[in-house]
């Protein structure tokens, strides 16, 4: 069996073994070592050590545990119920006010945490019962809670873009700048759909009852000042520092972690027990991410050594003869289908690197491709059979709510995600304008010959010091 064929057998075997329920990270390492030993011999163990060290020494990944810690501390700061109540009062005169308040709360809270399971679970305990008591359709309420809770994957500061940036070798700041407008557009499309649905079918999304909409203007202003404003300032400071280049993602994440602790203290929700829980959960999640990275690095390295990338390139470039648009559509369709049985982290770390070498061939910007992947991964949480957001909600929903009703409610929002992706295909400037504006290369001075600058910049041997003549 030739090496390229062995690489494709390796990829197929991994998918089958994961579907059988084996742990992904250790399956990746085992598959990489087993198939690598066949081709490389004992040198594959050197590869294991080198890849493990490279992951642990990667500066970009330092921000992952810090952002996770920030999210867990905010989750335990009792700000969510205050925020939901304030936004509920602010949108009380709109059709489907409770649903729109839920989506706004999800968008802001998901931005602060980035942990889909936590947001869906908390909103399932807080907003979902409130919508059911107000007479909302179960499917609509379920779809809103699940789709809104998944926005943390797309809206910066997202952990997914940190992992993609480390995998693709792209700037996290540029990825955040590119994802900001598409993420806001997706959240806005969710709200527009909810608003129209409430207008067309008011029985499925009735207006707020009088006792839930009661509150004067000073009460509304005070509610926003004590819930929305502090969290928005914290998020804007962290995200602004990264996008504007004032701090690296790791530095901004560290300041965000400190800010989340201060926020918890200000809300009198800080305790050593909650701090201990947040640290423990952060360590567990970070360890999972690191081992997944190690496994993915070993797997993709062996896959590349065996020539698997050349097989994929020959399929896409020579046999299918795809155009750039055709390549984008096909790769996103594959990622969409992979989202049914696999989670987003597995897709980003294992399958996206297979497509990355082809981006240069098709002249596709890796930043734009990353934003498209981020949008596409929303569907991995919403499409059965592995619709994790639906199962998170089912775990806290009332017993009479069936999983089929939750799946039914999620499907329209999957359609909205696909519509948002199509919009981005037609208008890629939505993603590319902000990073180009913020990080555009300044023009050369008048009279400067561009050819005088070597490709890749000047190197030390190119710069000769000018010394005064010796007397």
Q: Summarize pLDDT for 11-36 with one digit per residue, the tens.
A: 788 778 877 777 778 888 888 888 88
Q: Are 221 and 130 in contact (CB under 8 A)?
A: no
Highest mean pLDDT pick, 22-26, 167-171, 223-227, 432-436: 432-436
CA distances from 352 to 11, 88, 217, 369 (A): 13, 39, 50, 10
Q: Helix, strand or coil for residue 398? A: coil
Highest mean pLDDT pick, 1-10, 129-138, 317-326, 458-467: 129-138
Q: Which two tokens stand for residue 307?
A: 């020539």
The residue assigned the tokens 């804007």 is 236
Least confident of 207-211, 261-265, 428-432: 207-211
Asked if pLDDT for residue 465 goes beyond 60, the answer is no
Q: Could you tell me the pLDDT band of residue 181, with boundaries at 50, 70 and 90?
A: very high
Q: Could you tell me the pLDDT band of residue 3, with boundaries at 50, 70 and 90?
A: low
pLDDT of amino acid 444: 53
pTM over 0.85: no
Could you count the other beta carbons within 10 Å of the beta carbon of residue 129?
14
pLDDT of amino acid 460: 41
- Give me the mean pLDDT over the 193-221 stretch: 81
Q: How far apart are CA 338 and CA 376, in angstroms?
A: 10
pLDDT of amino acid 92: 80
pLDDT of amino acid 192: 93
Q: Give me the sign of the Cα torsion angle 223, 226, 227, 228.
A: positive
pLDDT > 70 in the chain, percent: 90
Structure-model confidence comparison of residues 81 and 401, the more confident one: 401
Alpha-carbon dihedral angle through residues 208, 209, 212, 215, given to the nearest 10 degrees = 90
- Give me the mean pLDDT over the 425-447 stretch: 79
Asked if pLDDT for residue 316 goes beyond 80, the answer is no
pLDDT of amino acid 297: 82
pLDDT of amino acid 468: 40
Q: Could you tell me the pLDDT band of residue 463, with boundaries at 50, 70 and 90?
A: very low
**Angle 63-75/159-168 helices, nearest 10 degrees?**
170
- The 3-class SS string of 173-190 reads HHHHHHHHHHHHHHHHHH
First to last CA, the chain: 74
Q: Which two tokens stand for residue 379?
A: 């569907």
pLDDT of amino acid 366: 92
pLDDT > 90 in the chain, percent: 14
The residue assigned the tokens 């890749």 is 456
- Give me the mean pLDDT over the 201-230 stretch: 79
Q: Are 347 and 127 in contact (CB under 8 A)?
A: no
- The candidate with the shortest Cα–Cα distance to 41, out of 51, 29, 33, is 33
Q: Are 163 and 58 in contact (CB under 8 A)?
A: no
Mean pLDDT of the chain: 82
Highest mean pLDDT pick, 56-60, 267-271, 412-416: 412-416
Q: Could you tell me the pLDDT band of residue 469, with boundaries at 50, 70 and 90?
A: very low
pLDDT of amino acid 454: 52
Structure-model confidence comparison of residues 300 and 117, the more confident one: 300
Q: Could you tell me the pLDDT band of residue 124, with boundaries at 50, 70 and 90?
A: confident
- Give me the mean pLDDT over the 377-389 stretch: 81
Asked if pLDDT for residue 95 goes beyond 80, the answer is yes
Structure-model confidence comparison of residues 113 and 143, the more confident one: 143
Q: How far apart are CA 34 and CA 14, in angstroms?
A: 12
Least confident of 113-122, 243-252, 382-391, 441-450: 441-450
Q: Are 191 and 99 in contact (CB under 8 A)?
A: no
DSSP 439: S
List pLDDT tens digits, range 335-380: 888 877 777 777 888 888 888 888 888 888 999 999 999 999 888 8
pLDDT of amino acid 189: 94
Asked if pLDDT for residue 471 goes beyond 50, the answer is no
Please give the distance of CA 132 from its chain centroid, rounded to a whole number: 29
DSSP 442: P
Alpha helices (H) along 319-365:
324-338, 344-346, 352-359
- Give me the mean pLDDT over the 47-72 stretch: 82
């Amino acid at each position: 069996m030739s090496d390229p064929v062995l690489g494709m057998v390796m990829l197929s075997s991994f998918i089958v073994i994961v579907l059988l329920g084996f742990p992904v990270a250790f399956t990746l390492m085992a598959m990489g070592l087993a198939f690598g030993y066949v081709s490389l011999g004992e040198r594959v163990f050197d590869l294991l050590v080198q890849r493990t060290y490279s992951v642990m020494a990667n500066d970009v990944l330092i921000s992952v545990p810090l952002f996770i810690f920030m999210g867990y501390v905010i989750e335990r700061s009792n700000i969510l119920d205050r925020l939901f109540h304030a936004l509920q009062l602010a949108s009380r005169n709109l059709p489907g006010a409770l649903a729109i308040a839920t989506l706004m709360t999800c968008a802001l809270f998901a931005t602060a945490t980035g942990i889909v399971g936590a947001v869906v679970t908390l909103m399932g305990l807080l907003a979902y019962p409130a919508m059911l008591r107000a007479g909302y359709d179960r499917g609509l309420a379920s779809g809103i809670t699940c789709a809104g809770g998944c926005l943390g994957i797309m809206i910066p500061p997202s952990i997914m873009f940190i992992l993609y940036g480390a995998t693709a070798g792209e700037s996290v700041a540029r990825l955040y700048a590119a994802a900001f407008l598409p993420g806001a557009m997706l959240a806005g499309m969710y709200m527009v759909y909810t608003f129209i649905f409430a207008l067309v079918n008011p029985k499925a999304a009735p207006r707020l009852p009088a006792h839930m909409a009661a509150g004067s203007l000073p009460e509304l202003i005070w509610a926003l000042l004590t819930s929305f404003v502090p969290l928005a300032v914290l998020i804007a400071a962290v995200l602004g520092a990264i996008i504007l280049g004032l701090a690296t993602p790791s530095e901004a994440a560290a300041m965000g972690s400190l800010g989340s602790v201060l926020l918890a203290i200000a809300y009198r929700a800080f305790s050593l027990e909650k701090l201990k829980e947040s640290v423990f959960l952060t360590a567990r999640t970070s360890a999972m991410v690191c081992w997944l990275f190690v496994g993915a690095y070993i797997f993709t390295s062996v896959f590349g050594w065996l020539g698997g990338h050349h097989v994929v390139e020959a399929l896409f470039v020579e046999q299918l003869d795809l155009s750039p648009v055709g390549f984008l559509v096909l790769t996103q369709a594959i990622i969409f289908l992979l989202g049914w049985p696999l989670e987003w982290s597995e897709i980003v770390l294992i399958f996206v690197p297979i497509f990355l070498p082809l981006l240069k061939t098709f002249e596709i910007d890796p930043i734009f491709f990353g934003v498209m992947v981020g949008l596409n991964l929303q569907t991995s949480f919403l499409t059965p059979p592995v619709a994790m957001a639906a199962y998170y909600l089912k775990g806290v929903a009332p017993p009479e709510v069936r999983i089929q009703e939750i799946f039914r409610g999620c499907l329209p929002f999957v359609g909205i995600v696909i519509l948002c992706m199509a919009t981005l295909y037609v208008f890629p400037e939505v993603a590319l304008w902000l990073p180009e504006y913020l990080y555009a290369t300044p023009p050369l001075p008048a009279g400067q010959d561009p050819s005088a600058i070597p490709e890749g910049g000047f190197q030390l041997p190119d710069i000769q010091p000018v010394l005064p003549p010796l007397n």
